[in-house]
Amino acid sequence: MFQKVLAGFGAGGAKVDAQILDRAGRPGGALRGEVHLLGGSVDQQVEALGVALLARVDTPEGPRDLPVQQVHLAGRELVRAGSRVTVPFEVRMPWETPITSVLGKHLVGMAVGLQTTLDLAGSVVDAQDVDAVAIEPLPAQHRVLDALSRLGYTFRAANLERDRLDGVDQQLPFFQEITFDAPAASGLKSVALTFLAGPQELQVVLDAVKQVRVAKGGGLGGRTQSFLGSFVVRDINAPWERQLEGWLRQVAAPRGIFD
């Protein structure tokens, strides 16, 4: 009887351990793995077993872990004491899933993980297990990032914003910004990229920041201005890099005394 009481408070109860089989995933693809359910010191009733892909998002209330995708695996099952059950899973990732690494190198500021949750009948504390997930860019996304790198832009950081972009078909309630510092000779301070991928095309939203030479209120420098632009990649082999480079040069070019 005492063991049952302890199991109800999480001591000696069933536990979960998830193993991700894929080294890295891609937006629009699948993330495969296994959940190992380990029976505790007594038989226990499983109310629900599931996995969720979570992302750390900047919100007005502070950073929050928001779901990207959730999968229900099992429910209303009896886990025998000391037993071991393996449950395979597959998480279909949305096309707008944020990328967290490029060629195996982690993007500073990104935190995406797979959370495994076990709800046990009568338990005060639910067992949870969280594993970091590597999301590599799609070929078109990788080509955009590589194009900026070849133009001399250097990666600074990435983050997720809980907001919606105007004029685009955005599926998730947040978007990713990947920020690059601009080369000194470019005339810009930084460029932030947002990818909105889909099965047929990739929309790239650009936010370029430049230093204004003369402030309208008087004085030199001290003020920046942001310029928004976008382009769509439908054919990865098309010469769209020239469009990207041309837009950056156009934004950086002086337009008048206040710009």
The residue that leads in pLDDT, 162 or 4, is: 162
Which pair of tokens denotes residue 75? Answer: 């429910």
Q: What percent of the chain has pLDDT over 70?
A: 86
Per-residue pLDDT for 9 more than 60?
A: no
State residue 242 phi and psi, 5-degree precision: -65, -35
The residue that leads in pLDDT, 77 or 124, is: 77
Which pair of tokens denotes residue 123? Answer: 């338990």
Q: pLDDT by residue (tens digit) across 198-244? A: 999 999 999 999 977 655 555 555 578 889 999 898 888 877 788 88
The one-character DSSP state at 135 is B
CB within 8 Å of 10: residues ≥ 6 apart: 123, 124, 125, 127
CATH architecture of the domain with residue range 2-132: Sandwich (2.60)
Q: What is the pLDDT of residue 197?
A: 95
Strand-pair category, 44-59 with 112-120: antiparallel
Of the candidates 179, 172, 175, the one whose C-alpha atom is nearest the C-alpha of residue 145 is 179
Q: Is 245 exposed, middle or buried (0-12, 13-18, 19+ CB in 10 A)?
A: middle
Per-residue pLDDT for 77 more than 80?
A: no
The answer to whether the CB of 47 falls within 8 A of the CB of 121 is yes
pTM of the model: 0.83
Q: What is the pLDDT of residue 1?
A: 37
Distance, in Å, from the CA atom of 120 to the CA atom of 90, rounded to the nearest integer, reads 22
Domain limits of the chain?
2-132, 139-252
Structure confidence at residue 37 as a pLDDT band (50, 70, 90): confident
